[in-house]
């Protein structure tokens, strides 16, 4: 008998679940007249340690824009969250929930916050006409706006990153002509992300004559003794570390154990945060990394956020010591890019919330020149970019930074990647993709494929 | 597993004609659903529920009916997905239904190979050996770019999704593809369970020595169980990759996914076919429901986001624990109890 009562309760619960498991797609709601900016989060799961400060930076910047600046030209930004724990399936559910707007606020752009989800949305977003933008680490061939009108891998791709690393090594060697015979070993996370630099480094080594050594590390990378022995045996001069998560501190520690000089290891953009060096301890001092998200609090905009958001106790961060860390600043930078895209769109379509088609237009005309960056108070924090319908990356600059043992210090100014060198190869890849999918590349800015 | 009932109970609650009429009405409702349901429902609730339910059937045939174990369901799903992708890409003349079937058969062959240890070992040891499949195929599809047609990020995406020239890529098309495939395979599974093979498998589950004594070919039946189970997983994997995600890579089918299929079987009910869909619905819907609940209760004004998300995880885990304590035979058993109750109403069953 009790069993049956329990069952009835369970069925009632299931009906309830079915009943409001679904949010009304675009029901008139409390957020009419606001700009929807859905925030996919990973505050739980394996990547939560980088997710929490990153989301803190993003939410704090939006709060600053909303409360101190009164929104973008008076239009408030609404940022409902959707937790994915970095899983693609949950991410797709979030995408479906928000793609046509939410509670009366329309969607203009969508940020997946995960390379896997970014790839999974490539086709869906094109069919739905939703511009997807992921700063840092999109698919390199998606720069081609003729084939991918709704993909925006802004700021930097891994191919440019590889050329920046080679440029920096050349600078240290005394010029590009001195690269001949230099041995550069790339230690990469064995995944699509990690393998992405194999091809550009091959092209670069053919051009400059350095010796290109590629060594994979299986996920998650807790054991790297063999790989580092291999590096020692090959007598490598430099190591380009393309890690992710736990692989980074393990690499730094193992390098110290086999006696490889730490100041000749250059980390990838995802191998250069405080969480990658601190766990390695003292041996990490002197370690280098590519940086598009420079840490530090010494930027005008960060001081403003500190004054109005952190010090007033309104921050999304529980642990405010993360303020100014690499991932926090990454969040701020992403927020700046989104807000500037809204501003660009509003200049054309009027001071109101934008829809996805207008959002695409806005991203394709995003032009962050140095003087605009200065006005925002983000000089040195955000690299200048200019997006066009033909080029959806818009720039390719990064700095090289060094770990002092307690914090990251930039060693260089923005270094430009050699995008011209790769242009033809990547363009061909995009066109091949178009052929495989039966997409006709658009021939002018306004002609959109469907 | 011995506590489960041998076969689905034949409740004579309704006369046969009434049951048939009900089935027809339900079938029509399912087919006409895309006309009413919006894209959100189709894309993020119905399609994943049905596809994961199908994967659940695959594992349930192995675990619930044959009493064997597998922690490699996701590996067989990935074989189905990668096979279907390569078939559609490299043999353009092959129609979609045939490609799905061949992909399933390739997964079945792999399942047969990885089922070989079951002839010698049992229980936890067997479970550990099926883990081998899980790690092997994830490694294979990450390390040999040929499987993903040398794509930059090692991802695969549906090259074409059409039947007789009809484009199935919009949500209703993908939904109908999933429903039709699942209905056919469900019917097949129901027949397998009731056939001689099904009875042999259940005899094996309940006592394999006795089964051998009465003349059941134990070795070939065990391998057959792995093959059938992997066939279902393979087709489900192809649908998961192309009808649901759209794009996937080897990591979409990691160990977590194998556990998810296992939970679907446990929550839905072992040795039940329909229960798998209940289990899948539970896994897909509960997290979404909890998020909505937190939103409706206005908790976000009181607590910070990080806390709420962790609270949701705790509640989800708690629901599973309570559910399995109250009803170890899963949601399917609950449904049966309710059906029995209403069959006798207003008297007590």
The tens digit of pLDDT for each residue in B82-129 reads: 999 999 989 888 899 999 999 999 999 999 999 999 998 888 888 888
In a domain? residue A234? yes
> Mean pLDDT over all residues of chain A?
89
In a domain? residue A223? yes
Q: Which residues of A338-374 are buried (b: 16+ CB within 10 A; e: fewer)?
A: bbbbbbbbbeebeeebbbbbbbbbbbbbbebeeeebe
Q: Is the model's pLDDT at B321 over the cut of 80? A: yes
Relative orientation angle of helices B47-60 and B218-239, to the nearest 10 degrees: 170
Q: Is the model's pLDDT at A136 over the cut of 80? A: no
Residues A192-202 pLDDT 10s: 788 889 999 99
CA closest to A192 among chain B residues: B153
A331 and A182 both lie in a single domain? no
A30 and A53 both lie in a single domain? yes
In a domain? residue B164? yes
Strands A385-386 and A367-368: antiparallel
Q: Which of A306, A313, A271, A208 is nearest to A408 (CA)?
A: A271
Domain boundary among A273, A291, A309: A291
> For residue B345, what is the DSSP state?
T
A265 and A389 both lie in a single domain? no
In a domain? residue B159? yes
Going by pLDDT thresholds of 50, 70 and 90, the confidence category of residue B158 is: confident
A18 has a chain B CB within 8 A of its CB:
yes
The pLDDT of residue B43 is: 86
Going by pLDDT thresholds of 50, 70 and 90, the confidence category of residue A339 is: very high
B-chain residues near A121 (CB < 8 A): 246-247
CB B176 within 8 A of CB B34: yes
Q: How far apart are CA B220 and CA B167, in angstroms?
A: 41
Domain count, chain B: 1
Q: What is the largest CA-CA distance in chain B?
A: 67
A286 and A314 both lie in a single domain? no
B95 has a chain A CB within 8 A of its CB:
no
Q: How far apart are CA A186 and CA A184, in angstroms?
A: 7
A-chain residues near B288 (CB < 8 A): 21-22, 93
In a domain? residue B169? yes
Q: Supply A269's token pair.
A: 């953009």
A-chain residues near B151 (CB < 8 A): 192
In a domain? residue A8? no
Q: How far apart are CA A20 and CA A3, in angstroms?
A: 26
Q: Which residues of B303-328 are buried (b: 16+ CB within 10 A; e: fewer)?
A: eebbebbeebeebbeebbeebeeebe
A117 and A187 both lie in a single domain? no
Q: How far apart are CA B49 and CA B201, in angstroms?
A: 27
Cβ of A15: how many Cβ atoms within 10 Å? Answer: 9
CB A160 within 8 A of CB A138: no
In a domain? residue A81? yes
* Smallest Cα distance from A374 to chain B, Å: 32
Q: Which of B82, B59, B77, B60 is nearest to B134 (CA)?
A: B77
Q: Is the model's pLDDT at B305 over the cut of 80? A: no
Strands A408-410 and A397-403: antiparallel
Cα→Cα distances B266→A387, A400, B63, B272, B335, Å: 51, 52, 10, 10, 15
* Smallest Cα distance from B21 to chain A, Å: 23
Q: How far apart are CA A90 and CA A96, in angstroms?
A: 10
- CA dihedral (B320, B324, B327, B330) positive or negative: positive
In a domain? residue B134? yes
In a domain? residue A319? yes
A26 has a chain B CB within 8 A of its CB:
no
Range of lowest pLDDT (A14-18, A36-40, A80-84, B256-260): A14-18
Q: Which of A426, A442, A450 is nearest to A143 (CA)?
A: A426
Domain count, chain A: 2
Q: Helical H runs in chain B?
A: 16-36, 39-41, 47-60, 73-90, 96-115, 123-143, 171-194, 196-206, 208-213, 218-239, 255-268, 275-296, 305-326, 330-344
The upper half-sphere exposure of residue A280, i.e. CA atoms within 13 Å in the direction of its Cβ, equals: 31
The pLDDT of residue A3 is: 53
Decide if B245 and A14 are in contact by the 8 Å CB cutoff: no
Q: Is the model's pLDDT at B49 over the cut of 90? A: yes
Q: Is the model's pLDDT at A323 over the cut of 90? A: yes
In a domain? residue B279? no
Instruction: Confirm whether pTM is higher than 0.90.
Output: no
Interface of B with A in 8-47 (CB under 8 A): 38-41, 43-45
In a domain? residue A171? yes
Q: How far apart are CA A22 and CA B36, in angstroms?
A: 14
A269 and A368 both lie in a single domain? no
Q: How far apart are CA A230 and CA A339, in angstroms?
A: 47
Burial class of A413 by CB neighbour count within 10 A (0 to 12, 13 to 18, 19+): exposed
DSSP string, A64-101: HHHHTS-SBTTBPEE--EEE-TT-HHHHHHHHHHHTT-
A95 and A151 both lie in a single domain? yes
Decide if B142 and A191 are in contact by the 8 Å CB cutoff: yes
* pLDDT, average across residues B221-241: 96
Q: Which of A380, A376, A421 is nearest to A157 (CA)?
A: A421
Residue written as token pair 């058969």: B105
The pLDDT of residue B117 is: 92
At residue B178's C-alpha, the angle toward residues B177 and B180, to 5°, is 65
B-chain residues near A140 (CB < 8 A): 152
The pLDDT of residue A349 is: 95
Residue written as token pair 């700021």: A155
Cβ of B86: how many Cβ atoms within 10 Å? Answer: 19
| CATH number, residue A340 | 3.40.50.2300
Strands B162-163 and B166-167: antiparallel
The pLDDT of residue B4 is: 43
* Smallest Cα distance from A384 to chain B, Å: 27
Is the peptide bond prior to B346 cis by the omega test (within 30 degrees of 0)? Answer: yes
Domain boundary among A291, A321, A338: A291
In a domain? residue A406? no
Residues 6+ apart with CB under 8 A from A309: A60, A63, A64, A67, A315
Residues 6+ apart with CB under 8 A from B266: B279, B324, B330
A191 has a chain B CB within 8 A of its CB:
yes
The pLDDT of residue A25 is: 43
A169 and A270 both lie in a single domain? yes
CA B331 to centroid of chain Cα atoms: 15
Relative orientation angle of helices A2-20 and B305-326, to the nearest 10 degrees: 150
Domain boundary among A291, A321, A349: A291
* pLDDT, average across residues A143-160: 88
A148 and A180 both lie in a single domain? no
Q: How far apart are CA B208 and CA B66, in angstroms?
A: 10
The pLDDT of residue A122 is: 83
The closest CB to that of B251, out of A1, A44, A116, belongs to A116
The pLDDT of residue B83 is: 96
In a domain? residue A331? yes
Decide if A10 and B292 are in contact by the 8 Å CB cutoff: no
Q: Supply A62's token pair.
A: 């939006």
Q: Is the model's pLDDT at A24 over the cut of 60? A: no
The alpha-carbon radius of gyration of chain B (Å, integer) is: 21
Give the whole-number percent of chain A exceeding pLDDT 90.
Answer: 64
Task: Tell me which residue range forms the domain holding A172.
Answer: 158-291
In a domain? residue B317? no
Residues A357-380 pLDDT 10s: 999 999 999 999 999 999 999 999
B337 has a chain A CB within 8 A of its CB:
yes
Looking at per-residue pLDDT, the higher value among A19 and A108 belongs to A108
* pLDDT, average across residues A318-344: 94
Q: How far apart are CA A223 and CA A162, in angstroms?
A: 25
A127 and A171 both lie in a single domain? no
Cα→Cα distances A46→A51, A113, A189, A245, B93, Å: 9, 14, 16, 9, 43
* Smallest Cα distance from A142 to chain B, Å: 11
In a domain? residue B283? no
* Smallest Cα distance from B200 to chain A, Å: 32
DSSP-assigned beta bridge partners for residue B167: B162
A171 and A143 both lie in a single domain? no
> Mean pLDDT over all residues of chain B?
87
A262 and A368 both lie in a single domain? no
> For residue B270, what is the DSSP state?
T
Residues A294-314 pLDDT 10s: 999 999 999 999 999 999 999
Cα→Cα distances A157→A164, A416, B31, Å: 11, 12, 44
Task: Tell me which residue range forms the domain holding B158.
Answer: 37-256
């Amino acid at each position: 008998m009790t069993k049956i009562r329990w069952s009835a309760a369970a069925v009632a619960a299931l009906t309830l679940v079915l009943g409001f498991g679904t949010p009304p797609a675009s029901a008139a709601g409390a957020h009419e007249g606001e700009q929807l900016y859905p925030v996919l989060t990973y505050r739980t799961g394996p990547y939560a340690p980088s997710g929490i400060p990153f989301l803190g930076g993003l939410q704090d910047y939006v709060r600053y824009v909303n409360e101190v600046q009164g929104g973008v030209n008076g239009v408030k930004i609404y940022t409902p969250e959707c937790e994915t724990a970095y899983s693609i399936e949950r991410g797709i559910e979030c995408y479906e929930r928000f793609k046509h707007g939410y509670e009366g606020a329309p969607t203009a752009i969508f940020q997946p916050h995960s390379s896997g989800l970014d790839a999974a949305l490539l086709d869906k977003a094109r069919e739905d006409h939703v511009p997807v933008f992921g700063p840092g680490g999109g698919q390199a061939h998606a720069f081609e706006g003729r084939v991918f009108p709704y993909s925006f891998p802004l700021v930097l791709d891994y191919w440019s990153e590889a050329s920046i690393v080679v440029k920096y090594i050349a600078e240290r060697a005394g010029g590009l002509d001195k690269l001949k015979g230099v041995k550069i070993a790339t230690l990469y996370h064995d995944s699509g992300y990690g393998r992405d630099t194999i091809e550009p480094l091959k092209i670069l080594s053919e051009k400059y004559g350095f010796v290109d050594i590629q060594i994979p590390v299986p996920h998650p990378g807790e054991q790297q003794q063999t790989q580092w022995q291999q590096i020692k045996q090959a007598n490598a001069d430099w190591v380009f570390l393309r890690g992710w998560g736990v692989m980074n501190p393990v690499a730094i520690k193992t390098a110290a154990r086999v006696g490889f000089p730490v100041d000749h290891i250059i980390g990838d953009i995802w191998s250069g945060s405080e969480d990658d060096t601190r766990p390695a301890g003292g041996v990490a001092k002197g370690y280098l990394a590519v940086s598009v998200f420079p840490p530090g609090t010494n930027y005008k905009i960060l001081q403003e956020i500190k004054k109005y958001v952190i010090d007033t106790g309104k921050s999304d961060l529980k642990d405010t010591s993360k303020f100014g860390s690499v991932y926090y600043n990454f969040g701020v930078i992403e927020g700046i890019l989104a807000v500037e895209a809204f501003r660009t769109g509003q200049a054309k379509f009027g001071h109101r919330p934008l829809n996805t088609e207008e959002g695409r237009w806005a991203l394709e005309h995003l032009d962050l020149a140095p003087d605009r960056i200065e006005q925002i108070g983000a000089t040195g924090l955000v690299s200048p970019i200019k997006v066009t319908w033909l080029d959806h990356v818009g720039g390719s600059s990064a700095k090289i930074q060094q770990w002092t043992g307690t914090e990251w210090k930039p060693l260089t100014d923005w270094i430009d990647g050699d995008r011209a060198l790769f242009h033809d190869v990547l363009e061909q890849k995009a066109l091949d993709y178009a052929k495989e999918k039966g997409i006709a590349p658009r021939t002018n800015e306004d002609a959109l494929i469907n | 597993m011995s506590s489960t009932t041998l076969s689905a109970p034949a409740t004579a609650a309704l006369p046969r004609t009434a049951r048939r009429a009900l089935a027809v009405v339900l079938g029509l409702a399912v087919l006409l659903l895309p006309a009413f349901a919006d894209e959100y429902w189709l894309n993020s609730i119905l399609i994943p529920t049905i596809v994961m339910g199908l994967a659940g059937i695959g594992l349930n045939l192995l675990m619930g009916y044959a009493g064997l174990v597998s922690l490699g369901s996701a590996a067989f799903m990935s074989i189905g997905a990668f096979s279907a992708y390569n078939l559609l890409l490299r043999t353009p003349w092959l129609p979609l239904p045939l490609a799905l079937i061949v992909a399933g058969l390739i997964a079945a062959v792999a399942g047969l190979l990885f089922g070989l240890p079951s002839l010698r070992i049992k229980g936890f040891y067997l479970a550990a050996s099926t883990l081998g499949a899980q790690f092997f195929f994830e490694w294979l599809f990450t390390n040999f770019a040929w499987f993903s047609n040398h794509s930059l990020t090692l991802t695969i995406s549906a090259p074409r999704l059409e039947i007789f020239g009809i484009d199935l890529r919009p949500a209703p098309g993908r939904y109908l593809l999933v429903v039709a495939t699942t209905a056919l395979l469900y019917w097949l599974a129901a027949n397998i369970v009731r056939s001689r093979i099904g009875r042999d498998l259940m005899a094996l589950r309940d006592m394999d020595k006795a089964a051998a004594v009465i003349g059941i070919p134990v070795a070939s039946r065990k391998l057959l169980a792995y093959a059938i189970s992997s066939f279902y997983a393979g087709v489900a994997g192809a649908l998961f990759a192309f009808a649901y995600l759209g794009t996937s890579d080897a990591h979409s089918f990691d160990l977590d996914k194998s556990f998810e299929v296992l939970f679907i079987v446990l929550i839905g009910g072992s040795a039940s076919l329909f229960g798998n869909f209940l289990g899948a619905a539970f896994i897909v819907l509960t997290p979404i429901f909890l998020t909505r609940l937190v939103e409706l209760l206005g908790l976000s004004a009181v607590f910070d986001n990080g806390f709420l998300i962790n609270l949701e995880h705790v509640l989800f885990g708690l629901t599973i624990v309570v559910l399995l304590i109250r009803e170890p035979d899963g949601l399917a058993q609950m449904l049966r109890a309710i059906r029995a109750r209403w069959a006798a109403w207003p008297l007590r069953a």
